[in-house]
Amino acid sequence: MNRTDEQLAALTWLRDWRESNNDWTVGLLADTHRFLVMKGGAGSGKSIFAGRKLLERIFTERGNKFLATRKTAKELEGSCWAQMLGQLEEHYPDEPVKINGTLKSITSLRTGSQIVMSGLDDVRKLKSIYGLTGAWIEEADEVTLSDFLEINRRIRGQSENYQQIILTFNPTSSKSWLKLTFWDKPPELMREGIRTYENVYTDNRFLTDEDRAQLEMLRDISPYDYEVYTLGQWGVVGNTVFDKVAVSERIKNAPEPVAVGYYEYDVQSDDVHISNARWVDDPNGSIRVYKRPEKGKRYAIGGDTAGYGSDFFTGQALDAASGEQVAVLKQAMDEDLYARQMYCLGNDYNEAIVGIETNFSTYPVQILQKMGYSHQFVREREDVYTGAYVKSYGFVTSSKSRNRIIANLVQLVREHSELFNDLETLDEMLTFVRNEKGRAEAVAGAHDDLVMAAAIAYDVRRQVRGGAANSPDISKLDKDLQRFYYNAKPEERQNLLKKWGVAQ
């Protein structure tokens, strides 16, 4: 066959493939990553593709032995086995094959390559299968990490073809080992071998209008099912604090960061002040930028420090006028290094007002003060000796203020989810639930550092207009009136000041 004939054959094959497959499958068919991890909603076509890829490979490559598996043999027979028999009949009617209905295997008589099936509940059969060169794990959310690792161990040794495990699943739980292993914290040695792919029912052109309608109907019937099976987003079982539908839809449309990195700087001889701060692009950096600072705009930054049960220092930067999230900081680091990153971030964003939580430590706030960053959030506290109210830097999260700032954030997410750009922040919102006592917090194993930093940032934002230095001076008022003022709602305070004759 000459080159022209080869090209013609390739074009013919591509045309035929596209007639019976979605366009997005072409790239995945050629993908050679060790782990092809396909997360999606119901009806997205991911399982249909996985079956076709295994069949295509046994008919075009020699020396393959693929395992198709799921949690139980009974489920496997009714899904993967039945599906692939149907695909054989429809798409490969002329291929010579041997089908063993007892052992559940398909063997190409032309290449000798084979697909074998075994449920993960049949350990003896699984351990008797040798020489595997690849696998398809269907409904991978139902299997354990231990199951996955056992299959991965069995695919080893020399092979003339690439070795690959395809995992297909609906994202039924945000606490799944799949999310942790392939999305959140993939092991260093696995990263280069992972390709993740996400799709939903709208990506499947073969789905009927009735099928689409049934999936869309879930929005009004079951928010959880809509989130998982329609939108293909990680599911959270429990009484979530934030509007799951609003958050899930924003996740689907959230933008990529325009920059990821951190700040470098030169530390002065006093070990406090810094100079020559500059941005460094780094895909593993602690800061994600979604909107660069604009001249003349004002910004607010909220910070949540690593306290009990938390591993991370975080920061959330907002456009003070619109409320849009423009930058996010998250990293496990020392307090002084965190303060310096916040200092640089604040300076970059036009000397933004910075409010850092001081519940567990006041050190980052003190560092900012020593560095000369005076544009910090100011709170008023009652002096334990005089009873008078004095001003202090930093944000204190009390039971009262915590409920208030979370309620404000919940409303913003429900009514203006488009303000939130950061996927990790949105993911945290999906695992932020009310516990048995009604307290809003992250589910076990999840984090809420970014959520709390965002809640603080939106509260800090209210001081941007006049700046902390221009807040009303009520120090001359009777201390009972001062207490009454600080316990009043923000919208009531102006009327009180006017009534008492205090300049605003």
Most confident of 365-374, 434-443, 486-495: 365-374
Torsions phi, psi for 328 (to 5 deg): -135, 135
Domain annotation covers residue 65? yes
For 352-373, what is each residue's pLDDT tens digit? Answer: 999 999 988 899 999 999 999 9
Looking at 114-123, 237-246, 476-485, which range is the least confident one? Answer: 476-485
The whole domain housing 298 covers: 259-471
Give me the pLDDT at residue 132, please.
94
**Residue 220 and residue 282 in one domain:** no
More confident site: 69 or 121: 69
Give me the pLDDT at residue 496, please.
79
Q: Which of 170, 169, 194 lies closest to 183 in space, CA to CA? A: 194
Domain annotation covers residue 10? no
Domain annotation covers residue 371? yes
Amino acid of residue 466: G
Other C-beta atoms within 10 Å of 80: how many? 26
Place of tokens 């945290």: 428
Report the DSSP pairing between strands 134-138 and 164-169. parallel
For 44-93, what is each residue's pLDDT tens digit? Answer: 999 999 999 999 999 999 999 999 999 998 899 999 999 999 999 999 99
Q: Where are the alpha helices (DSSP H) in 21-71?
A: 25-29, 46-60
Quickly state the pLDDT bin for 411 (edges 50, 70, 90).
very high
For 443-457, what is each residue's pLDDT tens digit? Answer: 877 889 999 999 999
| DSSP H or E run through 4 | helix 3-20
| DSSP H or E run through 450 | helix 449-460
Q: In sequence order, which residues have a C-beta less than 8 Å from that of residue 319 and are 6 or more positions away? A: 291, 297, 299, 326
**Residue 68 and residue 140 in one domain:** yes
Q: Is residue 7 pLDDT above 90, yes or no?
A: no
The two tokens of residue 46 are 């991911």
Within its chain, how far is the Cα of 285 from the centroid? 16
Domain annotation covers residue 242? no
Q: Are 317 and 373 in contact (CB under 8 A)?
A: no
Count the domains in the chain: 3
**Residue 378 and residue 504 in one domain:** no
Q: In sequence order, which residues have a C-beta less than 8 Å from that of residue 170 and are 6 or more positions away? A: 39, 40, 41, 42, 139, 141, 228, 229, 232
Q: Which of 183, 185, 177, 175 lies closest to 235 in space, CA to CA? A: 175
Domain annotation covers residue 195? yes
Give me the pLDDT at residue 12, please.
76
Residues 290, 294, 299, 304: what is their CA dihedral angle, to the nearest 10 degrees?
30
Q: Which of 357, 354, 350, 302 lies closest to 335 in space, CA to CA? A: 357
Quickly state the pLDDT bin for 323 (edges 50, 70, 90).
very high
Strands of the sheet containing 97-100, edge to edge, are 97-100, 105-108, 114-117, 65-69, 134-138, 164-169, 35-40, 194-199
Domain annotation covers residue 145? yes
The two tokens of residue 155 are 């695919």
**Residue 477 and residue 464 in one domain:** no
Q: Are 182 and 196 in contact (CB under 8 A)?
A: yes
Give me the pLDDT at residue 318, please.
96
pTM for this predicted structure: 0.62
Torsions phi, psi for 434 (to 5 deg): -95, 130
For 236-285, what is each residue's pLDDT tens digit? Answer: 766 789 988 888 889 888 999 999 999 999 999 999 999 999 999 999 99
Give me the pLDDT at residue 468, please.
35
First-to-last alpha carbon distance for the chain, in angstroms, is 87
**Residue 398 and residue 457 in one domain:** yes
The two tokens of residue 56 are 């295509």
More confident site: 79 or 386: 79
Other C-beta atoms within 10 Å of 188: how many? 7
| DSSP H or E run through 123 | helix 123-127
Q: Is residue 36 pLDDT above 50, yes or no?
A: yes
CATH number of residue 221's parent domain: 3.40.50.300
Q: Is residue 487 pLDDT above 70, yes or no?
A: no
Question: Alpha-carbon distance 8 to 11, whole Å?
Answer: 5
Q: Are 289 and 251 in contact (CB under 8 A)?
A: no
454-483 burial, b if ≥16 CB within 10 A, otherwise e? bbbbbbbbebbeeebeeebebeebeeeebe
Q: Average per-residue pLDDT in the chain?
A: 88
Q: Which of 340, 250, 255 lies closest to 292 in space, CA to CA? A: 255
Of the chain, the percentage scoring pLDDT greater than 90 comes to: 63
**Residue 225 and residue 202 in one domain:** yes
**Residue 406 and residue 461 in one domain:** yes
**Residue 182 and residue 297 in one domain:** no
Question: Alpha-carbon distance 56 to 89, whole Å?
Answer: 13
Domain annotation covers residue 284? yes
Judged by DSSP in three states, 195 sits in strand
**Residue 214 and residue 227 in one domain:** yes
Torsions phi, psi for 147 (to 5 deg): -60, -45
Q: In sequence order, which residues have a C-beta less than 8 Å from that of residue 427 and are 6 or more positions away? A: 174, 234, 251
Judged by DSSP in three states, 453 sits in helix
Give me the pLDDT at residue 466, please.
41
CATH number of residue 386's parent domain: 3.30.420.240
**Residue 460 and residue 477 in one domain:** no
Domain annotation covers residue 453? yes
Question: Alpha-carbon distance 301 to 256, whole Å?
Answer: 20
Quickly state the pLDDT bin for 129 (edges 50, 70, 90).
confident
The two tokens of residue 17 are 């493939």
**Residue 362 and residue 489 in one domain:** no
Q: Is residue 500 pLDDT above 50, yes or no?
A: yes
The two tokens of residue 397 are 């999260």
Report the DSSP pairing between strands 105-108 and 114-117. antiparallel
For 326-353, what is each residue's pLDDT tens digit? Answer: 999 999 889 999 999 999 999 999 999 9
Q: Are 435 and 444 in contact (CB under 8 A)?
A: no
Give me the pLDDT at residue 158, please.
87
Looking at 109-113, 159-163, 223-227, 291-295, which range is the least confident one? Answer: 223-227
Q: Is residue 469 pLDDT above 50, yes or no?
A: no
Q: Is residue 427 pLDDT above 50, yes or no?
A: yes
**Residue 176 and residue 127 in one domain:** yes
Q: Are 390 and 380 in contact (CB under 8 A)?
A: yes
Question: Alpha-carbon distance 28 to 17, whole Å?
Answer: 13
